[in-house]
Amino acid sequence: MKSAEHSWTPRSWRSRPAAQQPDYDPAELDIVLSDVREQGPLVLREECAALREKCAAAAAGAAFIVQAGDCAESLANDPVAESDAAVKLFAELDDAVRGETVRIARIAGQFAKPRSQPFESRVGLMLPAYRGDAVNGLPFDSAARRHDPARLAAAYRHSAATIGKLRRIESPVFTSHEALILPYEEALVVQDSEGGWWSGSGHMLWIGDRTREIDGAHVEFASGIENVIGVKCGPSLGAEQLLRLAETLDPKRTAGKLLLIGRFGANRIESCLPPLLRAASREGLATGWMIDPMHGNTRNFGGRKRRRIADMVEEVRAFFNICRSEGVEPAGIHLEVAPGQVAECIDFDGHDPMANFPCDPRLNSDQTVDLVKLADACRRQMVHA
Ligand code: PEP
Ligand code: CO
């Protein structure tokens, strides 16, 4: 928590416990980070400020945020092709929503993943879990699974190329990622002429469900920056905790600054979300509420992660119904989408049992359009109700 004697700096997170950090060699990491610092921010302060205004409009019901993209970006992908695919997807999603959309991609920085299990075992061999391409490699061998700071440098270069391409289109697609690797985030913070601190790593950053400890390093880091901040809200988040998080992350109650992204699961949203919405309304928080119908609906079938479309549909519907009964404007939806026609999420027609995905099962673009259309239909029903 902030106190009178506590003063935030881009490195003040270092005095807090930092969950989910890579175990990089410190000397190698320093070399990479001074290089990243020298090359400078990937996004402009003005762009980040513009996004905050758009998110304020969404929180007030005047626009709808569609945040979508890969679970984890891959260094093996071509940044130009990735940008083109994102632009194409958002163009389709714009058509699925009546009124203005705010387009936020999980792109140009989404290279690090929090993991529930630090190790992975296969046939008697135990190796560090895959933590995203900025940290280690997916192949199950000890060389690939080593935490390598050179990957962080590669992720920065890849992100720069992706953003370079995204900037050349007319309607803006904003970038976002989970602000997980804190030394990297620290290296890209810049100060404006009025003294405000902005992240230069992406337009919007979010804190994951596993790193939203109120006294933890991720919350400390995010509490000092002006960018739009998302917080993933899972079933373990209580109302008191939510209020403390909001007070810490958005003490000035800046419109559009804080986005709360519910990801409870179809079977828990009814019990988890209403108390959070009520507490937020009682306190008069200026936050926008979004729904991520993916991360609370991950099931285990025969040792593999699976997500059913039916669960996602149910959680999306429940979200809008709850918003309506609590008198809250729904601000947007957050989805994990794969490039290409994958069949990773179980559809009513069945799924591909051989589907191979590095982290979580993702939607294909048709499934994404359908879910966004559903969200839009629910939203319009609310407006007319
Ligand atoms: C994610 O969005 O990729 C993620 C890991 O989400 P959560 O923190 O909600 O589990
Ligand atoms: Co994911």
The answer to whether residue 352 scores a pLDDT higher than 80 is no
Sequence-separated (6 or more) residues with CB below 8 Å from residue 327: 281
Q: What is the pLDDT of residue 273?
A: 98
The answer to whether residue 359 scores a pLDDT higher than 90 is no
Give the residue-averaged pLDDT of 83-100.
95
Q: What is the pLDDT of residue 304?
A: 80
The answer to whether residue 315 scores a pLDDT higher than 70 is yes
Give the residue-averaged pLDDT of 323-327.
97
The answer to whether residue 368 scores a pLDDT higher than 60 is yes
- Which ligand is nearest the CA of 116, by number? 1
Considering the chain, what percentage of its residues have pLDDT values greater than 90? 88
Give the residue-averaged pLDDT of 314-343.
95
Which residue, judged by its Cα, is nearest atom 1 of ligand 1?
Answer: 71
pLDDT 10s digits, 57-73: 999 999 999 999 999 99
- What ligand 1 atom has the least distance to the C-alpha of 71? 3
Q: Does 362 contact ligand 1 (Cβ within 6 A)? A: no
Q: How confident is residue 2, by pLDDT bands cut at 50, 70 and 90?
A: very low
Q: Does 158 contact ligand 1 (Cβ within 6 A)? A: no
Give the residue-averaged pLDDT of 129-155.
98
- What ligand 1 atom has the least distance to the C-alpha of 334? 2
The answer to whether residue 385 scores a pLDDT higher than 60 is no
pLDDT 10s digits, 216-230: 999 999 999 999 999
Distance of CA 192 from the midpoint of ligand 1 (Å):
30
Q: What is the pLDDT of residue 348?
A: 52
Distance of CA 341 from the midpoint of ligand 1 (Å):
22
Beta bridge partners of 288: 259
Dihedral over Cα of 206, 46, 187, 87: its sign: positive
Distance of CA 140 from the midpoint of ligand 2 (Å):
20
How many Å is the Cα radius of gyration of the chain? 20
- What ligand 1 atom has the least distance to the C-alpha of 114? 5
Distance of CA 271 from the midpoint of ligand 1 (Å):
20
Dihedral over Cα of 148, 154, 156, 159: its sign: negative
Q: Does 263 contact ligand 1 (Cβ within 6 A)? A: yes
Q: Following DSSP, what letter does each residue of 96-139 receive, concatenated?
A: HSSS-EEEEEEBSS------S-SEEEETTEEEEPP--TTT--SS
Average model confidence (pLDDT) across the chain: 94
Domains observed in the chain: 25-384 (3.20.20.70)
The answer to whether residue 287 scores a pLDDT higher than 60 is yes
Q: How confident is residue 1, by pLDDT bands cut at 50, 70 and 90?
A: very low
Distance of CA 381 from the midpoint of ligand 2 (Å):
29
Q: What is the pLDDT of residue 324?
A: 97
Cα separation, 296 vs 277, in Å, equals 18
Instruction: Tell me what percent of the chain is helix, strand and coil, each rounded to the nearest 5.
Output: 40, 20, 45
pLDDT 10s digits, 207-266: 999 999 999 999 999 999 999 999 999 999 999 999 999 999 999 999 999 999 999 999
- What ligand 1 atom has the least distance to the C-alpha of 263? 9
Q: Does 232 contact ligand 1 (Cβ within 6 A)? A: yes
The answer to whether residue 276 scores a pLDDT higher than 90 is yes
Structure-model confidence comparison of residues 350 and 323, the more confident one: 323
Cα separation, 243 vs 237, in Å, equals 10
- What ligand 1 atom has the least distance to the C-alpha of 211? 8
- Which ligand is nearest the CA of 178, by number? 1
Residues with CB under 5 A from ligand 2 (ion): 71, 360
Please identify which residue in the block is written with the tokens 């359908």: 370
Distance of CA 114 from the midpoint of ligand 1 (Å):
8
Which residue, judged by its Cα, is nearest atom 3 of ligand 1?
Answer: 71
Distance of CA 366 from the midpoint of ligand 2 (Å):
19
The answer to whether residue 350 scores a pLDDT higher than 70 is no
Q: Does 235 contact ligand 1 (Cβ within 6 A)? A: no
**Which among 220, 221, 251, 218 is positioned nearest to 232, based on CA atoms?**
218
Q: How confident is residue 322, by pLDDT bands cut at 50, 70 and 90?
A: very high
Give the residue-averaged pLDDT of 30-54.
98
Q: What is the pLDDT of residue 104?
A: 98
Q: Does 209 contact ligand 1 (Cβ within 6 A)? A: yes
Sequence-separated (6 or more) residues with CB below 8 Å from residue 124: none
Distance of CA 333 from the midpoint of ligand 2 (Å):
14
The answer to whether residue 301 scores a pLDDT higher than 90 is no
